[in-house]
């Protein structure tokens, strides 16, 4: 299984920004990737996904504020988070899943929380 390590979390004031990064232990060319978050007492929320060809998908809660991107040459996934609000406070997780043979799409945010490879998470706190 690919190992994922997130970085870039922290504490910011409302309206601020952060950029999360995720580094994979192996080549990511064949992996569907995404981010989900989880706040205490709440369910996991898939917030962003990116296909192998770079097509992106976002949850309505972050659309227009967050940008997901990938750099397969560096085995990295990023999440630029702008206009952060207190409700964005959560632990953020990078996830990845190898695209199954016979499938042409990763499925967008609908499948992110099902991915089996997950990082340890990075905390984002907005006050």
Contact indicator for 68, 34 with CB cutoff of 8 Å = yes
Instruction: Report the distance separating Cα 122 and Cα 68, nearest Å.
Output: 16
Tally of helices (H runs) and strands (E runs) in the chain: 0, 11
The alpha carbon of residue 30 and the mean position of all alpha carbons in its chain are separated, in whole angstroms, by 16
Q: What is the CA radius of gyration of the chain?
A: 14
pLDDT digits (tens, 9 = 90+) for 11-57: 999 999 999 999 999 999 999 999 999 999 999 999 999 999 999 99
Q: Average the pLDDT over 52-74 and give the result.
A: 97
Contacts of 34 (CB under 8 A, 6+ apart): 46, 47, 48, 49, 50, 68, 94, 95, 96, 106, 109, 112, 115
Span between the terminal Cα atoms of the chain, in Å = 36
pLDDT digits (tens, 9 = 90+) for 96-126: 999 988 888 899 999 999 999 999 999 999 9
């Amino acid at each position: 299984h690919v190992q994922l390590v997130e970085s870039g979390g922290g504490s910011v004031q409302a309206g601020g920004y952060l950029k999360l990064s995720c580094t994979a232990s192996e080549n990511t060319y064949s992996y569907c990737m995404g981010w989900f978050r989880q706040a205490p007492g709440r369910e996991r929320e898939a917030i962003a996904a990116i296909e192998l060809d770079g097509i992106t998908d976002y949850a309505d809660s972050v659309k227009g504020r967050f940008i997901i991107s990938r750099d397969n040459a560096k085995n990295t996934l990023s999440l630029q988070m702008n206009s952060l609000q207190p409700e964005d406070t959560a632990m953020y997780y990078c996830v990845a899943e190898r695209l199954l043979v016979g499938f042409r799409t990763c499925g967008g945010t609908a499948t992110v929380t099902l991915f089996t490879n997950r990082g340890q998470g990075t905390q984002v706190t907005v006050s």
